[in-house]
Amino acid sequence: MTGSEASPSFRLAYVPGVTPSKWVRIWNERLPDVPLTLLGVTPGEAFGLLRDGGADAALLRLPVDGDDLSAIPLYTETTVVVVPKDHLFAAAEEVSAEDLADELVLHPLDDTLGWERPPGRPALERPATTGDAIELVAAGIGVLAVPQSLARLHHRKDLTYRTLTDVPQSRVALSWPAAEEAPDLVEEFIGIVRGRTVNSTRGRRAEESKGRKAEKTSKKPQSGGRSGAGSSRTGGRPATGGRRTGGAAASRGRSGKPRRRS
């Protein structure tokens, strides 16, 4: 559990393009007494923040840097190419890597696709950030391949993007400091991002829910008490059919044969 025992909290870092709002909403519904703090970080800052204890978990892009961090993949993003609206590619539904052969393809230093060299012609210098690369594309200097979420994040009216095929794709993951067992609140968030229900999720809340169910079960009356109440409602009558069999036995005698009348 993170934070103090009296007032737990959960700090979640996330890199540009990742939108944790849906998961945060579910967290607030399930754990209203545990504040969740969002920390926007650059891809390069995310790993250091986890190692330094500045965040309990982070939504980032694979690969994870080092064996001291655990991670579970969440989803894979579509790769797109960002171009000016009057570019030839704007008329196509999708573009292949081969189509970029004659294009100046920008390769920012914070690239998230993990390729050593993008297709097409390289620029003389690499832009420092994706934002800087977007500005160059808007100025008519080259095109840019990025995950679709980053194209949306840096949306401009004078730019558009198209699906880019036959290229690497970015995978988003949830990461936290490696341990034999994930902390309770991290386990809670894992359950949320994996779509577990309240009853199926693991962690502190699940244990509390089990405890409440066990308490309710222990308070239920025993089955013997129910049958006793049933007997009192019947007024102590003998078992069903007792009267009929008793009358027949009296007329027949002990041997069970009918008596002859004299």
Based on the fold, state whether residues 27 and 55 are members of the same structural domain: yes
Q: Is the pLDDT of residue 236 over 50?
A: no
Residue 52 lies in a domain: yes
For range 43-48, the mean pLDDT: 92
Helix axis angle, 204-219 to 184-193, nearest 10°: 90
For residue 93, the domain's CATH number is: 3.40.190.10
Nearest Cα to Cα of residue 125 among 94, 104, 97? 104
Q: What is the pLDDT of residue 150?
A: 97
Based on the fold, state whether residues 189 and 60 are members of the same structural domain: yes
Q: What is the pLDDT of residue 223?
A: 52
How many CA atoms lie within 13 Å of 105's alpha carbon, on the beta-carbon side?
Answer: 20
Instruction: Provide the token pair at 210.
Output: 């089990």
Based on the fold, state whether residues 19 and 34 are members of the same structural domain: yes
Residue 186 lies in a domain: yes
Domain range for 108: 79-165
* This prediction's pTM: 0.73
Residue 247 lies in a domain: no
Nearest Cα to Cα of residue 119 among 146, 98, 138? 98
Report the distance separating Cα 228 and Cα 49, nearest Å: 65
Q: Are strands 171-177 and 69-76 parallel, antiparallel or unpaired?
A: antiparallel
Number of domains observed in the structure of the chain: 2
Based on the fold, state whether residues 84 and 135 are members of the same structural domain: yes
Residue 2 lies in a domain: no
Residue 103: Cβ within 10 Å count: 20
Residue ending a domain, among 165, 195, 227, is 165
Residue ending a domain, among 165, 198, 223, is 165
The answer to whether the peptide bond before residue 63 is cis (omega within 30 degrees of 0) is yes
Based on the fold, state whether residues 194 and 155 are members of the same structural domain: no
Banded model confidence at residue 196, pLDDT cuts 50, 70, 90: confident
Q: DSSP class of residue 189? A: H
**Helix, strand, coil % over all residues of the chain, rounded to 5:** 35, 20, 45
For range 142-159, the mean pLDDT: 97
- Tens of pLDDT, residue by residue over 62-71, are 999 788 999 9
Based on the fold, state whether residues 88 and 70 are members of the same structural domain: no
CB of 107 closer than 8 Å to CB of 122: yes
Q: Which of 64-78, 110-124, 173-187, 189-203 has the lowest mean pLDDT?
A: 189-203
Residue 63 lies in a domain: yes
Based on the fold, state whether residues 25 and 143 are members of the same structural domain: no
Q: Is 61 exposed, middle or buried (0-12, 13-18, 19+ CB in 10 A)?
A: buried
Helix and strand counts by DSSP (H, E) for the chain: 8, 11
Residue 242 lies in a domain: no
Based on the fold, state whether residues 84 and 102 are members of the same structural domain: yes
Based on the fold, state whether residues 25 and 58 are members of the same structural domain: yes
- For residue 22, give the 3-state DSSP assignment: helix
Report the distance separating Cα 93 and Cα 80, nearest Å: 11
For range 70-95, the mean pLDDT: 97
CB of 205 closer than 8 Å to CB of 188: yes
Q: Are strands 121-122 and 69-76 parallel, antiparallel or unpaired?
A: unpaired
Amino acid identity, position 50: L
Based on the fold, state whether residues 50 and 177 are members of the same structural domain: yes
Based on the fold, state whether residues 90 and 21 are members of the same structural domain: no
Residue 217 lies in a domain: no
Residue 89 lies in a domain: yes
Based on the fold, state whether residues 87 and 145 are members of the same structural domain: yes
